[in-house]
Amino acid sequence: MEAAGSDSTIDLDRAGNKPRALIDPFARAITYLRVSVTDRCDFRCVYCMSEHMSFLPKADLLSLEELDRLCSAFIAKGVVKLRLTGGEPLVRRGIMTLVSSLSRHLASGALKELTVTTNGSQLEKYASELKGHGVERINVSLDTLDPEKFRAITRWGDLGKVLAGIDAAQAAGLKVKINAVALKGVNEDEIAGLMQWAHGRGMDLTVIEVMPLGDIEESRLDQYLPLSLVRARLAERFTLEDIDYRTGGPARYVRVKETGGRLGFITPLTHNFCESCNRVRITCTGTLYMCLGQDDAADLRSPLRASESDAALHAAIDEAIARKPKGHDFVIDRRRQAPAVGRHMSVTGG
C-alpha cells in the first residue's frame, strides 16, 4: 500500500507568509478543489462512460504522496473545501491513507471540509474510516431505486450493495446527499419517489442534467431531460419553496414543504452556474482544469516532480487561475451528435 504525505504543515514562503490567495480574472475567489484520485470505476454508467473504457496506465497516475502535496499546495493558497472524486475514489488502492493524511488540514483549521463523491459500492467497507478521519458528509450517486433499471444504467452495479453502503454511512454518522442524473425516458417518472425516499431518510437530493462530456454509445439527445421540466412536474404535486442554501457547489436548492427536505438542481445546460464559480478540478494525472466545460488545462505534474520546493508548483497554479474563463461552453450538438468536451467525466473527476 502506498503511503501518503508527511506530517508537515502548509508551506510558507521565504518571508514566512502564506502563498497568495487564488483570485481569478473575474474576481472570484477559488476556495473549492475537486480532485480525481483515479479514472477507474467499478460501474460503467451510460451517461458517463463507454462500456469498454480504456483507462490510464497506473504509472501515469499521481502517487498518493503527490496527491497529498498537490492538495496541500491549494489549501495553502486558500482552498477550504476539498472533494475527492474519481472515477470511483474508493477503488483507489490505499485511498484511506490519503484521507488520513489530508485530515491534518482539518485538525489545523486550514481546511473546513473534506468530502467524497462515491457510487456507494465500497461504502459499507469504508464508511466508519471516512468518519474517523474527519469526513462529515458525502455525496452518493444514485439514479434509481429499481434494481433492474439500476443495473441497466450502471451496466455493472448492484443496487443492494449501494443501499447497504448508504445504511453503513448513516450508521457511522455521515451526512449523505443523493445525486441523481435526470435521464429522459429512463428515470424521469421516478424522481418524485426518489426524493420522497431520500427525504424520508434525512438525506438531501440533488438532480443533475446530463452533461455532454466524452463519447459514449448512447445519444445525449436521447438522454437529455431539462430540469425546468422536472421542476415544473414536481411543482404540480409538491410545494417548492426557494431557499438561500449553498454547499459551496453549483446546486440551487428549494425546500419541499410536504417532506421538509431539501431538493437541489444542477443545471449546466438550461441555466448555467458560472457567475458564482469558486471551484477548479484536478485529474489523477495532475492536470488542472479551470472549467469543467472547457478544454483549457494546466500541467501541474511537471512542476510537482521538478523540485522538492513548491515554488514552481505555486507559480504554475497562479498562471492557470489567471486563465480561468468566465463560463463554460456546454451545449448538446444536435447537428454532429458530438460531446461539447471530448474527455469523459470520469477523467475530469466529477
The whole domain housing 163 covers 32-177+275-348
pLDDT confidence band for 325 (50 / 70 / 90): confident
User: What's the burial of 144, exposed, middle or buried (CB within 10 Å: 0-12/13-18/19+)?
Assistant: buried
Task: Mean pLDDT check: name the lowest of 92-101, 212-221, 282-291.
Answer: 212-221
User: What cell numbers appear for 130 in the block?
Assistant: 471516512
The pLDDT tens digits of the residues spanning 98-108 come to 999 999 999 99
**Residue 131 within any structural domain of the chain:** yes
How far is Cα 303 from Cα 269, in angstroms, rounded to an integer? 35
In a domain, 11, yes or no: no
Beta-strand relationship, 279-282 and 81-85: unpaired
Give the per-residue pLDDT at 215.
46
Q: What is the pLDDT of residues 116-151, one digit of tens each?
A: 999 999 999 999 999 999 999 999 999 999 999 999
DSSP alpha helix (H) spans, the chain: 64-76, 95-108, 123-132, 147-154, 159-171, 191-200, 220-223, 227-237, 301-306, 311-321, 345-348
Expressed in angstroms, the distance from the first to the final Cα of the chain is: 25
For residue 281, give the C-alpha cell. 478540478
Quote the pLDDT of residue 328. Answer: 57
pLDDT tens for 220-258 read 457 788 899 999 999 999 999 999 988 767 789 999 999
- 53 lies in some domain: yes
- Return the C-alpha cell found at 221: 439527445
How confident is residue 56, by pLDDT bands cut at 50, 70 and 90?
Answer: confident
Asked whether residue 237 is domain-assigned, the answer is no
- 238 found inside a domain: no
Residue 165 sits in a domain whose CATH number is 3.20.20.70
Q: Is residue 183 one of the residues assigned to a domain?
A: no
pLDDT the model gives residue 107: 97
pLDDT digits 0-9 by tens, 58-74:
888 999 999 999 999 99
Residue 40 lies in a domain: yes
pTM attached to this predicted model: 0.85
Give the C-alpha separation, 129 to 193, whole Å: 31
As for how many domains the chain has, the answer is 1
Indicate the pLDDT class of residue 290, thresholds 50, 70 and 90: confident
What integer pLDDT is reported at residue 332 of this predicted model?
43
Which band of pLDDT confidence, cut at 50, 70 and 90, is reported for residue 42? confident
Q: Is-contact 294 331, C-beta < 8 A?
A: no
